[in-house]
Amino acid sequence: MLKNYYLLGLCVTGLTLVSMSAADVDTKKIPPASTRTDVTFDKDIKPIFEKACFKCHGTEKQKGKLRVDSLAAIKKGGENGEVILIGKSDKSSLVHAVSGAVEDELMPPDGKGDPLTKDQIGLIRAWIDGGAK
Protein backbone atom coordinates (compact mmCIF):
# COMPACT_ATOMS: atom_id res chain seq x y z
CA MET A 1 0.00 0.00 0.00
CA LEU A 2 2.72 2.43 1.01
CA LYS A 3 4.54 1.53 -2.17
CA ASN A 4 1.50 2.52 -4.26
CA TYR A 5 1.37 5.96 -2.68
CA TYR A 6 5.05 6.33 -3.33
CA LEU A 7 4.58 5.50 -7.01
CA LEU A 8 1.62 7.87 -7.29
CA GLY A 9 3.76 10.59 -5.75
CA LEU A 10 6.47 9.98 -8.31
CA CYS A 11 3.95 10.23 -11.15
CA VAL A 12 2.55 13.52 -9.92
CA THR A 13 6.05 14.97 -9.51
CA GLY A 14 6.95 13.77 -12.99
CA LEU A 15 3.87 15.36 -14.56
CA THR A 16 4.49 18.65 -12.76
CA LEU A 17 8.07 18.71 -14.03
CA VAL A 18 6.96 17.99 -17.59
CA SER A 19 4.35 20.74 -17.60
CA MET A 20 6.82 23.22 -16.08
CA SER A 21 9.42 22.59 -18.74
CA ALA A 22 7.11 24.03 -21.43
CA ALA A 23 8.96 27.37 -21.58
CA ASP A 24 7.38 29.19 -18.67
CA VAL A 25 8.22 32.85 -19.02
CA ASP A 26 8.86 34.72 -15.78
CA THR A 27 7.82 38.19 -16.96
CA LYS A 28 8.98 39.75 -13.67
CA LYS A 29 12.54 39.20 -14.82
CA ILE A 30 12.14 41.29 -17.97
CA PRO A 31 13.46 44.84 -17.44
CA PRO A 32 11.26 47.75 -18.61
CA ALA A 33 11.64 49.14 -22.13
CA SER A 34 13.66 52.31 -22.58
CA THR A 35 11.58 55.37 -23.38
CA ARG A 36 13.88 56.31 -26.25
CA THR A 37 12.14 56.42 -29.61
CA ASP A 38 15.20 56.74 -31.86
CA VAL A 39 16.78 53.32 -31.30
CA THR A 40 18.19 51.68 -34.43
CA PHE A 41 19.92 48.37 -35.07
CA ASP A 42 23.06 49.84 -36.60
CA LYS A 43 23.58 52.58 -34.05
CA ASP A 44 22.44 50.99 -30.77
CA ILE A 45 21.73 47.27 -30.97
CA LYS A 46 24.43 45.85 -33.22
CA PRO A 47 27.27 46.98 -30.90
CA ILE A 48 25.58 45.18 -27.97
CA PHE A 49 25.16 41.96 -29.95
CA GLU A 50 28.63 42.25 -31.45
CA LYS A 51 30.19 42.10 -28.00
CA ALA A 52 27.87 39.53 -26.42
CA CYS A 53 26.49 37.30 -29.18
CA PHE A 54 28.42 37.33 -32.47
CA LYS A 55 30.89 34.63 -31.44
CA CYS A 56 28.04 32.11 -31.31
CA HIS A 57 25.47 33.73 -33.61
CA GLY A 58 27.56 35.32 -36.37
CA THR A 59 29.71 34.41 -39.35
CA GLU A 60 31.64 31.61 -37.62
CA LYS A 61 28.97 29.81 -35.62
CA GLN A 62 25.19 29.84 -35.83
CA LYS A 63 24.08 28.20 -32.58
CA GLY A 64 20.40 27.37 -32.62
CA LYS A 65 20.59 28.19 -36.37
CA LEU A 66 20.45 31.85 -35.39
CA ARG A 67 22.53 34.83 -36.53
CA VAL A 68 22.14 38.20 -34.91
CA ASP A 69 24.70 40.09 -36.99
CA SER A 70 22.22 41.64 -39.41
CA LEU A 71 18.69 42.93 -39.26
CA ALA A 72 17.55 40.48 -41.93
CA ALA A 73 19.02 37.51 -40.06
CA ILE A 74 17.35 38.50 -36.79
CA LYS A 75 14.00 38.89 -38.51
CA LYS A 76 14.43 35.44 -40.03
CA GLY A 77 14.90 33.86 -36.58
CA GLY A 78 16.41 30.54 -35.52
CA GLU A 79 15.62 26.85 -35.36
CA ASN A 80 12.46 27.53 -33.37
CA GLY A 81 11.23 30.30 -35.63
CA GLU A 82 10.97 34.01 -34.97
CA VAL A 83 12.97 35.46 -32.09
CA ILE A 84 11.51 38.96 -32.23
CA LEU A 85 7.86 39.92 -32.57
CA ILE A 86 7.78 43.48 -33.85
CA GLY A 87 5.86 45.75 -31.47
CA LYS A 88 5.78 43.05 -28.79
CA SER A 89 9.14 42.99 -27.07
CA ASP A 90 7.60 41.38 -23.98
CA LYS A 91 6.57 38.39 -26.12
CA SER A 92 9.85 38.14 -28.03
CA SER A 93 11.92 35.05 -27.27
CA LEU A 94 15.16 36.99 -27.78
CA VAL A 95 14.15 39.36 -24.97
CA HIS A 96 13.19 36.40 -22.78
CA ALA A 97 16.57 34.84 -23.52
CA VAL A 98 18.70 37.86 -22.59
CA SER A 99 16.59 38.55 -19.48
CA GLY A 100 16.88 35.01 -18.16
CA ALA A 101 13.08 34.92 -18.03
CA VAL A 102 12.97 31.26 -19.01
CA GLU A 103 14.78 28.86 -16.76
CA ASP A 104 18.07 27.52 -18.16
CA GLU A 105 17.80 29.62 -21.31
CA LEU A 106 19.94 32.61 -20.45
CA MET A 107 21.82 34.27 -23.32
CA PRO A 108 24.76 34.58 -23.32
CA PRO A 109 24.83 31.22 -21.51
CA ASP A 110 26.19 31.12 -17.96
CA GLY A 111 29.95 31.54 -17.94
CA LYS A 112 30.01 32.42 -21.64
CA GLY A 113 29.99 36.18 -21.27
CA ASP A 114 28.59 38.94 -19.07
CA PRO A 115 24.80 39.08 -18.92
CA LEU A 116 23.30 42.11 -20.65
CA THR A 117 22.50 45.05 -18.37
CA LYS A 118 18.96 46.25 -17.68
CA ASP A 119 19.70 49.34 -19.78
CA GLN A 120 20.85 47.25 -22.72
CA ILE A 121 17.76 45.03 -22.52
CA GLY A 122 15.61 48.17 -22.20
CA LEU A 123 17.13 49.46 -25.44
CA ILE A 124 16.52 46.16 -27.23
CA ARG A 125 12.91 46.30 -26.08
CA ALA A 126 12.43 49.89 -27.25
CA TRP A 127 14.00 48.92 -30.57
CA ILE A 128 11.58 45.97 -31.08
CA ASP A 129 8.57 47.96 -29.88
CA GLY A 130 9.48 50.80 -32.23
CA GLY A 131 9.45 48.56 -35.29
CA ALA A 132 12.97 46.99 -35.24
CA LYS A 133 14.48 49.48 -37.70
Q: Which residues of this chain interact with ligand HEC, rule CB under 6 A?
A: 49, 52-53, 55-57, 63-64, 66, 68, 77-80, 83, 93-94, 97-98, 105, 107-109, 112-113, 116
- Our CB check for ligand HEC shows the closer of 94 and 130 to be 94
Residue whose beta carbon is closest to ligand HEC:
78
Q: Which residues of 24-50 are buried (b: 16+ CB within 10 A; e: fewer)?
A: ebeeeebbebbeeeebebeebbbebbe
Contact between 96 and 83 under an 8 Å Cβ cutoff? The reply is no
- Our CB check for ligand HEC shows the closer of 12 and 23 to be 23
- Our CB check for ligand HEC shows the closer of 83 and 126 to be 83
- Which amino acid would we find at residue 120? Q
